Structure 1
Amino acid sequence: MQVSSQADQPIWLRTLFGWHLVFYVLLGVVTLSASISSELSAGRRTAYLILLGVLALAYWFIAIPAMTSRNWLQSNVYRLLMIGCIAAAVALYPQSVFILFIVSPQIWLLSRRTLDAIVLTLVLLVAVGTAQLWAAGWTTDAFWSILPWMLISLVVSSLMGIWIDRVIAQSQQRADLIEELESTRDELAAAHHTAGVMAERERMAREIHDTLAQGMTSIVMLAQTAAVELERGGADSVARRLSAIEDTARENLAEARALVAAFTPVALSEATLTEVLRRQAERFAAETGVDVQVSLDMPDEEVAALPQGQQVVLLRAAQEALANVRKHAGARSVLITLTMSAGGVGIEISDDGNGFEPADPASGYGLAAMRGRVEESGGTVQVDSAPGRGTRIQVLIPSSGQEDS
């Protein structure tokens, strides 16, 4: 007999041990009673004990597994065998009729449908009543004395069976609900995990785009410029370009190491945001010849006191805007302005370049990445541009109190 662990069983199955115990205790009582009874001849006593032995073995090897597996064939085989054994046992020893109170619920426990249980309960009571009449000699008095007890047994058995049936149904509903909840929980956990992985990938993509990719673009452009100047024989200019390439490569290497360790830019861990922006402006001007100015509409101390996360977002916005100027704008001058207002802290990057149509889907990954980073901080990005009229990018990040509200 295969027994599943209690943790995997429905509640009603976990209480079956009590039913098994009561059944075998009653079986033992009637066995003892028949063994010491003087009303039974030796032959009848032997036949009676064999019937009880068959019933005990059938219950252990057929009924108990059927209660767990709900196997239709096993359930019917046991119930028919049980009805036959009980009827024959009552015919041999009528005092054992009280065992009906434990075998009647077994019919319901092993039924899939209420109708099946009612029919088999009637069959059991008719068989037992017939056995009692046979033992009493088929007299009319015996019939009328047996009939009330059979009717009472029918009512009690039906009420108990209906209660058992409802307990089983409710237990199954709860098991289905628990299974559904566990399935939903697993699905939600998987969805949260997938969302977390995608968000982390997107953040990594933005970090790489704003740091390593832009640094590599600078190196490529400096190398191309150095190659042209080398052909013209400008050794001094080439040396300056090579020095700039080395500086950019070192910064890229430091940024790569920072990406592995954390997401705070190396430059901000060594200097204030204002100083970093001015260094970026100087290097950009040296590499491209574009005049880049940094302006503060707020005290430098307030800039330094900004939360690290806000400083990172502002720096990345400036880097992305400068990268777009390098690749697309053809500008002669760029102005970077840090501002503080009632709405929060902001940065504005404007140039006098070619401009573009902001609604154009081909405006590139850089602006989309900038918007994503700023919106994660609760901020907004506004792009004002038109072909031939330059570009102005405004980033505004609300203060902590405003963001929470």
Structure 2
Amino acid sequence: MTSSQSEPRARRSTGRAVNDPSAATSRGDDREDQVILLRSTLIVASGYALGAALQGAYIYSQFVTGWSSASLAQRLGANLIGVLALVVTLYLMRLHRETRAVVLAGGAVVAAAIAAAARYGAQLLIGVYDDPTPDETWGEVAGGFVIVLISTGIGIWSVHSRRAARSRIRAAEREAVHIEVAVRALEQEEVRVRRAVAEGLHGTLQQKLVLVEARLAALQQHVEAGDVDAEDVDDLRWVRAELDEARVIDVREMSRLLYPDRLELGLVPAVRALLGRIPASIATRLSVAPRVRELDDPAAGSLTTSERLLAARIVEEGVTNSLKHGPAASIEVSLDAVDGVLVVTVENDGALYDAALAGAASGTARLAQRVSLIGGTLTLSPGASRGARLEARLPLGIE
């Protein structure tokens, strides 16, 4: 590859990095943390520097015999050099990026030592001390070290306080977005169910009622004319059969779109009712952990109606997939609860599931989105040797 070919690619890569919102946010946070650390430390250390200069130039010169009589400007200048050394050291060390307490403590000690040494060197250079005694030397170095260490500690605390506040604000923003997405998803689900019910009413059920009405109209004419025969009796039987089928199949199926059978009695009865509708040629098995039975007890359980409804929808989706894409000879459903998480599993022994061949199932995708909104997961994977396995992990509101 020539350099002319690699350069545009590098530029494109750089452009992507620049336009990456997460990268820009990270860089902005880094700059903000650095400014907070340096500014906080500078303000506190400068205050200490001014106070120490006033103390040394006035109080000690007035009341301590033999103390150095250096001017306020000399002392303040030496102290400000120490402050400048501290700020430069913190800038070069990039201490604002650290989160480990040991590294922060060690960095603060190193920065304080460098700044204290710079301050004392400036005092000797400017002429605050001509020939300092050992006590004066250790007093100035130790005092400067402690002051600078405190200033650095306050700066580090300011950074971490701001970082914690920033995290809380962003968590609140994410929660607000999460709630908005959840509301939209529920609205979309409501629209989908309403559309399905409307299509059922205006489709199959309406067709049957139109045919039934036509037969009844013909029968009415025959009865009014007094010309009733055996065919009319057959028509009555047909009308009765059609109405019964509409009641049992169409109306009940549409009602199940809104609310599964026996859900008010609990999740387990609802799942049993669902499995009971499967053709007898397909073997079914339901495994329920004792903990689930406790949680699902209508009298003293803690499963909410929304949790039961979502779990029942997941079982229904797994059973539907088994019947559509199997074909399965057996379907096994298991319900378990582990560490405040309801685990719903639907397995079948049909053809081995292949994601590349199966494609994306719209129903499963919608359920996966709903489950993710409550912090759960929904996965569809191949079985151990045959079929498919649909597993959902739903966090429960258990204290």
What TM-score do you get using the length of structure 2 for normalisation? 0.38
The higher radius of gyration belongs to 1
Q: Which has the higher contact order (CA 8 A, sep 6+)?
A: 2
